[in-house]
Structure 1
Amino acid sequence: MGSCLWILMLVVNPVLSFRRPAEPSVCRVVHEDVDCSGLSLRTVPKRLLASIHLLDLSRNLLQNLTDHELPVLSNVHHLNLQANKIQFIQPGLFQDTSRLEVLDLSRNLLDLYAALKTSVGPLKSVRRLDLSGNGLFTDMSDYFLSDAPALTQLSLDGNSITKISRHTFNGSQALTSIDLHNNVIIEIEEGAFESLTGLSELDLSVNSISCITDFNLVRLRTLNLSKNSLTSFQTVDSELEFELLYLDLRENKILYFPVLPQKNKLMYLDLSRNLLRSVNCSGPLEELENLKASGYLFTDDDKPLCLCANQGHQDLPSLLYLDLSHNQLKAIPSSFFSSMASLESLNISNNCLESFSVDSEASLNSLKTLDISYNNLQNLSFGQNTLAALEVLHLQGNALSTLDSGIFLRLPSIRSLHLQQNLFRICPSLKNQTHDCIRLSSISTLSYLYLSENSLESVPPGAFDGSPLLILDLSLNADVGLGPYSLSGLEPTLAHLSLRGNQLRTLTVDFTSFHKLKSLDLSVNRLTGVSLWSGDCSVESLNLQNNSLVTLASDAVLALQKSLRTLYVGSNPLSCCGNPYLLTLLQQDRLSVPDISAVTCWFTRDSESVEISVSALRAEDCESLDGKVLWISVIVALALGLTLVSVVTLKLCHSQTHGFKRGIKA
């Protein structure tokens, strides 16, 4: 019987092991996904599952890919070989992988394989191929793409490709997305992408392309040419409607507005950080010397190679986002925006604009965000019935001092005004409109107002009455006059108030009625006391850093202790033993004091003033001091009492003596 069982086990065990191979002990297996990443493997584990959907062999030390090394590939859908040291692939290795759709070979040494000038063989089912970071030079990618008919997504970023030839993608005609960013591309041969009729995304950013003169990829939807050396971008003259939606031309050397398709669907255009001098597509010929200095290419007869003929403004009816920031624009005519009826975001910051106006010709009624910050604005005007949807306006950094006082009242949807770093004065709420101040009251939609660094001399009573502000920033206005009614009207809405760096010595506002105030910044002032509440308060975050506070009054602490969650109080000359309420507050677990390491206090020890960290203060430090004060007080009281008794006694005796003498004489 025993011998029969032994024979049966010899027969059954091989069958079971054949039907269910042992899972690799070093790899992690979840269902049909096998993760062997980061194990310093030099060879592929031999005993893998027969059916694998995803095989991750990334971040190992594999050098050669052969059918001996990778015996189980017939059922793999996703093969990740990223970050190995692969320098050889057996030709035809993937020809029987009918289910392989994703192949990641990035960050290897495939330039060594490409130097053999041997095709890797058919990649018949691969849809996504990543060859990035392999040191591939021009034409080396051809050995991987020559027979990849199903390929739709290709990444070649981070290589050393200098030229894209017209033959590069001949074997990969199904491509819809190509990533070529971070190479050294100087030249793109005519016809390199035209045969790819399904191509919709092309990333050529971070290369050395100097000029696009005949852009004709009608079906392309996304084109990234940022961080090149472009001096011009011109579309071929065509009546066809281009599908381009996203065009990124930032960080180039473009002087004039690009020539875009006459019929377009463009929604996003980024021209920031160029050398734009005009929103026209060309400039006067007398600028030739400037063009040469800017790196333009010229023909043998000294004509600019990439300048267009002078044309009018181009229609951009679908444009939602336009970024012209960080250029050299001195003026933009209002008519430039006349065709941009859909524009929602316009950024013209960091230019040289001296004036900006929006009139009825370019109403920009869809615009939600307008950034004209950091220019040299002297004039700003918004016509009636323009900018109906504008919600956010950036005007900071213009040193503006005069505006039509009611300019912001003509913005019916404005929510956020950024007016920092100007020279505005604030009109009293009932004052007639003038040009020497701006009216900030009765703007019923305004929620966020930033007025820091405006050299404000005063904030008149009711300056913001009727404007339901949630955030008000009045910081860095040295010696600003802030009266008890300067913030009146904001009691129902104000949640965050900054008065940082105003050199305030006193503050007479009673914040008790500001029931929604959650954050109050009073740092970098000269406050000696904080008595801002006559009752309960709602403040959760209070910043008192860098003031002249010796004590924090008991009424202030009692008002704060229920709601306060975060307190900054460092860099103040606090008294150690004169702040029992404050010290008790600092010890509460629910209170966060982020600058506790900078919170110090002073007390007298042996006739010397000593500064110590509040966290190091011991109870006996103040108890001993209190004891000394008590004994001194008792001694002084006794001395005063004895002196008083002596004086009274002497007076009584003196009176009796004089009475006795007067009696005898009588």
Structure 2
Amino acid sequence: MWKQESAERSFWLVVPLSISEWVCEDVKSAGSGGALKTNHKLKVSTMAAFQLLFLLLVSCAPTSAHPPGHLSQCQIVQKDVLCSNQSLQSAPVNLPPDVQMLDLSRNQVQNLTQETLGFHTGFHRLNLHSNKIHFIQPRLFENMTDLRVLDLSRNHLNVFAHSKTSVGSLKAVESLDLSSNGLYTGMSDYFLTDSPSLANLSLNSNSITKIAHNMFRGSLSVQKISLHNNVILEIEDGAFESLQLLTELDLSKNSITCINDFDLYNLEVFNLSKNSLETFQSVSSDNLFQLLSLDLSENKMLYFPDLPKKNKLEYLNISRNQLHTTNVTGNHENQPVLKLHSLKYLDMSYNQLKAIPESFFFSMPSLEVLNVSNNCIQTFSVSHFALLKKVRVINLSSNSLQSLTFGENTLQLLKKLFLQGNKLTVLDHQIFQRLPSLRHLHLQQNNLQICPYEPKLKDQNHQVPPDCVAFSSVHNLHFLYLSENSLQTVPVNAFVDTPLKLLDLSLNPGLDLHKDSLSGLENSLIHLFLRENNISSLNTDLSSLRSLKYVDLSTNQLNSLKMWNKESSIESLNLRNNNLVTLDHHTILALERSLKTLYMGSNPLSCCDNLSIFRLVQQSAVVVPDIATATCFHEEYSEPVNIQKVTQEMCHQADVTNYVVAVVVTLLVAMILLGLLIKCCRLRRRKHNRSFNA
């Protein structure tokens, strides 16, 4: 009660202010020597006169401080006038007479009157969002017969609503935005009482707690309603039944706990995400529902939703709930028969599912995307060829998979398979060869080993190595992720007849790469990731991979790169955080033609042994994104030198110094030897003289 009264006082303060603007104009027009004529019929007390004078002063002050803006402040594009963010309190003077769109957003408009809008009535679109509007002149929009779009979002319309005065007819308005206005239950009625053409209504981010059964009685043509981010707890029976054209309804981010007897037959898109839903139940009916998309994500549902028997549903999202079964109720008997013949997208990720029976998918012949990641699933199988015939994406990542089975001739259209984060150790050796359309395979964070290539593997009598998976002859596989699998080795010809474009073998410490491990990928491989493998030497000649463009060898123990014999096609090479002292000159020559990006920071490089690569960097022929940490060591400097500052003279000077030192040392040695020779000759001469005297 207190809040309502204070708000009403605020409203009655606003009205005199709007009237006082007219009085101020009279004061100004009277001039310094004129007198203000008073109406003899108006009888006011002395106190009332002082109050009026005070209101005049308050209201005139901001008017003089912020005079009406000029059209030069705005941008005019054909019949559109754009005056956003100009600190205006009203439309600029001299608006073009044929203006159709006025953008007054992000200004200081407080009172919305005919004067505020320059007495124009021909607007088609009016954008007033992000102002301070708390008063709208009643029936202001009645003469705007062409007004189709009205944006009043981010204002203070809750103050106006406290007056319990209708804004008047909005007969032509098709799109109305009242979001972020502090409106609560019942306040929207003052804006919707006469909106027969309204098709798109936004009431987002207000404080509405209940949707009354007569809330939309004045806007029966509405097709799209958004009530996102309110505090809705209750929806009265029949609140949406009269809206026969309603096709989209957004009730996300509210406090709705249950939907019982859902019966909006014409609704096509329904968003109930981020509520507190525990159940969703449809009315028992043989009528066909038009629902295409249903979002129930981020709720508290324990069971699969009870969907209409006859439906066209294509998109269903029940992720981030508390599902522990695919049953519709807790009773295992008399479960409703699911009929989802049109369903293409199903997301049940981030729940508590432990298993999904194959029978669950029999009612989904059109399913293309299945996401059941981040559950507790231990087994998953597709054994019947009629199941998931159209599925293109299956996401089983971050589960507890111990068993994965795909039967012969199943999943013939599957293109993307996500299995990362399952700690898988054993799979059927040729499970992926059975998937003829597979292009993307994610196996990160498992414990799989790669089988050696064996041409006779198809021979049933041939003994295959235990506990490994074959990746040869997966004829359409382009992207393979095997990081964090504790891989020990990549066998010779491991990927023969598999046209990989991307291969990720990162985070497998101690990985042993044979010189022919990547044989068969010469014409296809574009991306190669080998980071964080503790590799000390790279045995593979990467220049033999003719299509290779992006290589990541960062965070290893490399002290050198094997000499490459051919011109490379590599455009991006990551060598940072290794033990490289010198980059082989032949390798640099092989890279020089194609290399565009080089990461080489955090290496103990020698300044004078890498002048050729430093020259490429300094000439901007190669970009070094981590240039700040790319340093080298010079014997005459106590601190590492940034590679951008290395000059040939620094190294020539070192060569001269070394030459001088060598010459001096040589001369000293020669002088010592000469001295010894002279001394020796003198001794011999003395001995000879003694012999002669005897």
Query: TM-score, normalized by length of structure 2?
Result: 0.84
Aligned to 2:274: 227
Residue 618 of structure 1 and its aligned partner are, at CA, apart by 4.4
Q: 1:647 to 1:392 in 2, by over 3 A?
A: farther
**Of 570, 578, 588, which aligns to 1:557?**
588
Q: 1:377 to 1:623 in 2, by over 3 A?
A: same
Cα shift readout 1:626-646 (whole Å, capped 9, x = no counterpart): 222112333444566678899
Cα shift readout 1:32-86 (whole Å, capped 9, x = no counterpart): 2122222111133343222221111111111112233335343111111111111
Aligned to 1:372: 396
In structure 2, give the amino acid aligned to 1:486.
Answer: S
Aligned to 1:75: 122
Residue 579 of structure 1 and its aligned partner are, at CA, apart by 1.9
Q: Runs of 5+ in structure 1 lacking a partner? A: 1-21, 286-308, 656-666
Most deviating of 99-108 and 37-46: 37-46
Distance 2:70 2:110 in 1: 23
8 Å contact from structure 1 (residues 335, 362) kept in 2? no
Residue 480 of structure 1 and its aligned partner are, at CA, apart by 0.6
**Of 305, 311, 315, which aligns to 2:335?**
311
Aligned to 2:467: 436
8 Å contact from structure 2 (residues 108, 132) kept in 1? yes
| 1:552 match: secondary structure | coil
Distance 2:121 2:402 in 1: 71
Q: 1:505 to 1:130 in 2, by over 3 A?
A: same
Q: How many residues align?
A: 612
**Of 74, 81, 86, which aligns to 1:34?**
81
Distance 2:491 2:427 in 1: 18
In structure 2, give the amino acid aligned to 1:615.
Answer: Q
* Corresponding position: 1:499 with 2:538: no
* Corresponding position: 1:476 with 2:523: no
Aligned to 1:276: 323
Aligned to 1:325: 349
8 Å contact from structure 1 (residues 313, 336) kept in 2? no
In structure 2, give the amino acid aligned to 1:510.
Answer: D
Distance 1:525 1:37 in 2: 54
In structure 2, give the amino acid aligned to 1:630.
Answer: Y
8 Å contact from structure 1 (residues 531, 555) kept in 2? no
* Corresponding position: 1:150 with 2:179: no
8 Å contact from structure 1 (residues 151, 175) kept in 2? yes
Aligned to 2:612: 581
Distance 1:65 1:526 in 2: 70
* Structure 1 residues 122-133: aligned runs within 5 Å: 122-133=169-180
In structure 2, give the amino acid aligned to 1:503.
Answer: N
Distance 2:576 2:70 in 1: 62
Residue 652 of structure 1 and its aligned partner are, at CA, apart by 13
Residue 361 of structure 1 and its aligned partner are, at CA, apart by 6.6
| 2:306 match: secondary structure | coil
Aligned to 1:292: none
Distance 2:289 2:584 in 1: 70
**Of 397, 412, 423, which aligns to 2:436?**
412
* Corresponding position: 1:165 with 2:202: no
Q: 1:583 to 1:70 in 2, by over 3 A?
A: closer
8 Å contact from structure 1 (residues 349, 372) kept in 2? yes
Distance 1:628 1:641 in 2: 20
Aligned to 2:652: 623
Distance 2:524 2:216 in 1: 61
* Corresponding position: 1:447 with 2:478: yes
Most deviating of 514-523 and 50-59: 50-59
Distance 1:549 1:277 in 2: 53
8 Å contact from structure 2 (residues 262, 283) kept in 1? yes
Query: TM-score, normalized by length of structure 1?
Result: 0.88
Residue 227 of structure 1 and its aligned partner are, at CA, apart by 0.5
Residue 326 of structure 1 and its aligned partner are, at CA, apart by 0.7
8 Å contact from structure 1 (residues 369, 393) kept in 2? yes
Cα shift readout 1:318-345 (whole Å, capped 9, x = no counterpart): 1111111111100100111111111111
Q: 1:150 to 1:527 in 2, by over 3 A?
A: same
Aligned to 2:113: 66
In structure 1, give the amino acid aligned to 2:585.
Answer: S
Aligned to 1:3: none
Aligned to 1:251: 298
Aligned to 1:663: none
| 1:634 match: secondary structure | helix
Residue 313 of structure 1 and its aligned partner are, at CA, apart by 4.4
Aligned to 2:157: 110
Aligned to 1:89: 136
Cα shift readout 1:163-208 (whole Å, capped 9, x = no counterpart): 0000000010000000100101010001000110000000000111
Distance 2:385 2:280 in 1: 27
Distance 2:500 2:597 in 1: 23
* Corresponding position: 1:178 with 2:225: yes
Distance 1:151 1:123 in 2: 8
Residue 233 of structure 1 and its aligned partner are, at CA, apart by 0.9
* Corresponding position: 1:336 with 2:336: no
Residue 654 of structure 1 and its aligned partner are, at CA, apart by 13
Cα shift readout 1:372-408 (whole Å, capped 9, x = no counterpart): 0000000000111111100010000000010001100
Residue 558 of structure 1 and its aligned partner are, at CA, apart by 1.1
Distance 2:381 2:359 in 1: 10
Distance 1:648 1:530 in 2: 51
Q: 1:649 to 1:264 in 2, by over 3 A?
A: farther
Most deviating of 618-627 and 520-529: 618-627
Aligned to 1:403: 427
8 Å contact from structure 1 (residues 404, 434) kept in 2? no
| 2:603 match: secondary structure | coil
**Of 525, 547, 557, which aligns to 2:556?**
525
Q: 1:652 to 1:341 in 2, by over 3 A?
A: farther
8 Å contact from structure 2 (residues 385, 407) kept in 1? no
Residue 534 of structure 1 and its aligned partner are, at CA, apart by 0.9
Q: 1:490 to 1:645 in 2, by over 3 A?
A: farther
- Aligned identity (percent) is 52
Distance 2:674 2:249 in 1: 103
8 Å contact from structure 2 (residues 74, 81) kept in 1? yes
Most deviating of 36-45 and 319-328: 36-45
Residue 458 of structure 1 and its aligned partner are, at CA, apart by 0.5
Distance 2:91 2:526 in 1: 61
In structure 1, give the amino acid aligned to 2:501.
Answer: L
8 Å contact from structure 1 (residues 158, 182) kept in 2? yes
Distance 2:611 2:114 in 1: 80
In structure 2, give the amino acid aligned to 1:329.
Answer: L
In structure 2, give the amino acid aligned to 1:448.
Answer: F
Q: 1:602 to 1:267 in 2, by over 3 A?
A: same
8 Å contact from structure 2 (residues 576, 602) kept in 1? yes
8 Å contact from structure 2 (residues 228, 251) kept in 1? yes
RMSD of aligned residue pairs (Cα, Å)? 2.5
Distance 2:361 2:157 in 1: 50
Distance 1:59 1:94 in 2: 21
Distance 1:555 1:617 in 2: 21
Q: 1:511 to 1:618 in 2, by over 3 A?
A: closer
* Corresponding position: 1:544 with 2:575: yes
Aligned to 2:631: 600
Aligned to 2:261: 214
